[in-house]
Amino acid sequence: MKTYIVGNWKMNFTVGDASVYLHKLLKRIKPARNLQVAIAPSTIALQPLSLQIDRKKLKLAAQNCCGKDYGAYTGETAISQLRGMVDYCIVGHSERRYVFNETDQQIREKVAACVRNNITPILCIGETESERTFGETRDVLRDQLSSGLKDVSREDLEKCIIAYEPVWAISSVKGARPATPDDIANSIKIIREFLREMYGKTIEEKMPVLFGGSVNPSNAGAYLTIPGVNGLLIGGASLIADQFDDIIETAKKVAS
C-alpha cells in the first residue's frame, strides 16, 4: 500500500504566493516509489497551480467541495468543476464540521460526489476533547465512518481514504495537545475494526488510513510507524518548505 503525505494549506497564501511556494517545492521534491505527495491549496489557486504542477512529483487536492454536481448554490464549488485539476478532495475536516457546522448528511453527499466524479475523497473523522473525556471516541468514530461512507458502493470503497483527525490534537484548536503514538494506535485499531466489521477484511486491508493532528518533522516518523497508519494529513508544517520536505523525506525512509 502507498504512503500518503497530504499538505492542507487551509486559508493561507495568495495565488501568487502559492505559485512561488509550489515552484520551491517542485525543486526540492523527488518522486519516490510507493509514496504519494499531495497539496491542498485554497480553491482560488487550484486552477493556476494545476497548470504549473509536475504530477510525477505532486498531486493537487481540494480542501472542500459541494455535494451537488451543478445548480443554484451560490458561492459553492462543485466537485465536477474540479475534474482534471485535482486528484483528491478533503471532506469532513473538523473545521468544516465544527466551525461551519457541516452535517453528516452534507459530508456523506460530498464523499459520494467525489467518487461519482472520479476524485478520491479523504474523509476526515475524529472526536472532540469532551467526547474523548466522556469515553465516546469509539461511538463517534463508528458513526462518522459509517455515515460518511453510507452512499458509496462496495465496488467504490477502495477509491476512498480515511484520515483520523482528533480535534483535541489540532494545533489551531484552543487547548490542543499533541497526540501520543499510543493515543493514535488505539483509535486506528478501532477504525480498522469497524472497516472489517462493516465491509470485510479485503476493504479493511486496502483502504488507506492517514493521521492528522499537529504533525511536524519531529513526530512524523513516530506517527508513520504506527501499525495501520498509511500516511499523514499535515496543516501548519506544510506551509514551511523545509519542514514539509523533511516530513516527505521521513516518509520515503518509512515507505522503503
Catalytic-residue membership of 127: no
Among 77, 73, 72, CA closest to 90: 77
What region, left, alpha or beta, does residue 214 occupy, with left being phi > 0 and alpha being psi -120 to 50 degrees? left
Looking at 102, 127, 165, 204, which residue is catalytic? 165
Buried b (16+ CB within 10 A) or exposed e, 230-243: bbbbbbbbbbeeeb
Among 199, 86, 78, CA closest to 145: 199
Looking at 93, 95, 127, 204, which residue is catalytic? 93
CA distances from 9 to 32, 45, 111, 240 (A): 22, 11, 20, 10
Element (H, E) at 72: none
Catalytic-residue membership of 93: yes
Residues acting as catalytic residues: 93, 165
